[in-house]
Amino acid sequence: MFDQISKQVDEFGNSMLNALNQVQGFFGKELDVANPIKNSILEMVGNTPLIRLNHVASHIQGIDFFLKAEFQNPTGSIRDRSAVAMITDAEKRGRLTKGNTILIHGAGSSSVSLAWAGRTKGYKVVCYLEKSEESYATKLRHFGAEIIISETNPLSTIREKTQNPEFWYPNDNANMSIPNHHFTRTGPEIFRDMKGKVDYLVTGGGTGGTVTGVGRFFRSQKSESDTKIILTGLQNSTFDQFFSNTNGLIDLPEIFDPKVVDQFIAVTRDEAIHSQSDLLIREGIPVGITTGMILCGAIRFAESLIRDTDFINESGTEEKKNLVILCPDRE
């Protein structure tokens, strides 16, 4: 009798694992629980967890706050998603092949992610830095880039070199593989893990690729989810100038779609640093200043909601809301 019960339990367990494995390919990636062993570090990009905030913003009643922990990507940044997406897309298009060189410039997280992803996939990565950025060379070398300190505008040099098909420049401000990735991966991950119940999603600007892709995904789910997309940015940033209409000639990234944004909130640098520190002290979560900026904007937005109207559902009863904060960085 015991053996029979044990056999049935084993069969049930095996059937559950098989079912999970059959979900493989759901929105482009298998569930981690079904494949705990990764074939490559590149498979660690994405499928980041959501962390409930228990203390920060606890003064706001009626809203549960969740942090999408993109700092768990290999280099600690959401830009790992962009880097892998751009390189994979270029490979599929035949623009990037074995023996080619990837050219990048600047000392930001995008360069770090591209250096890491490019070298991991077997490409030579050359990063051009201006003289003022020379202090970042060690970090970029650590992640796989060869460094050239440029006396002239690095972009001019890169444009000239990419006339030769042996060189490839990702150009993340105009590369549609970034919003496409967030449409097919990041948005669906949040939707899946929150079981479709996302009332508000708050994110930052950057190239505009994240908010565009995630925003378009949630717009496509209108029948199941009416998610408001909130964009945050530093005061006097490009996005702040665009949404406040203080400058009519704003040079926005090509991949940014402002139509997906329901509301923009500007944050000062001091406010961002305060929220960054608050998250570490009260929740134990170490993040970068960009996450601090987004968290500050999320709290300010939540504080502006009116309980008598914003928390009432179609049946006329009060309903708790879910707010997801996209956390892009670890430092």
Q: What is the pLDDT of residues 75-95, one digit of tens each?
A: 999 999 999 999 999 999 999
**Between residues 27 and 317, the one the model is more confident about:** 317
pLDDT of residue 96: 97
Q: What are 38-59's pLDDT values in tens digits?
A: 899 999 999 999 999 999 999 9
Q: Is the pTM of this model over 0.75?
A: yes
Provide the 8-state DSSP code for 264. Answer: E
Element (H, E) at 148: strand 145-150
**Between residues 4 and 207, the one the model is more confident about:** 207
Calculate helix-pair angle for 109-120, 79-92, nearest 10 degrees: 50
Contacts of 181 (CB under 8 A, 6+ apart): 81, 82, 85, 209, 213
Q: Facing residues of 265 across strands?
A: 232
Return d(Cα 129, Cα 150) in angstroms, integer. Answer: 6
The backbone region for 96, taken as left when phi is positive above 0, alpha when psi lies in -120 to 50, beta otherwise, is beta
Over range 132-148, report the average pLDDT.
94
Of 24, 71, 82, 28, which Cα lies nearest the Cα of 48?
Answer: 71
Residue 169 has pLDDT above 80, yes or no: yes
pLDDT of residue 95: 95
Return d(Cα 211, Cα 234) in angstroms, integer. Answer: 16
pLDDT of residue 315: 61
Over range 278-291, report the average pLDDT.
97
Given pLDDT bands bounded at 50, 70 and 90, which one contains residue 28?
very low
Question: Do 240 and 233 contact (CB within 8 A), yes or no?
Answer: yes
Of 247, 260, 246, which Cα lies nearest the Cα of 203?
Answer: 260
Over range 232-250, report the average pLDDT.
86
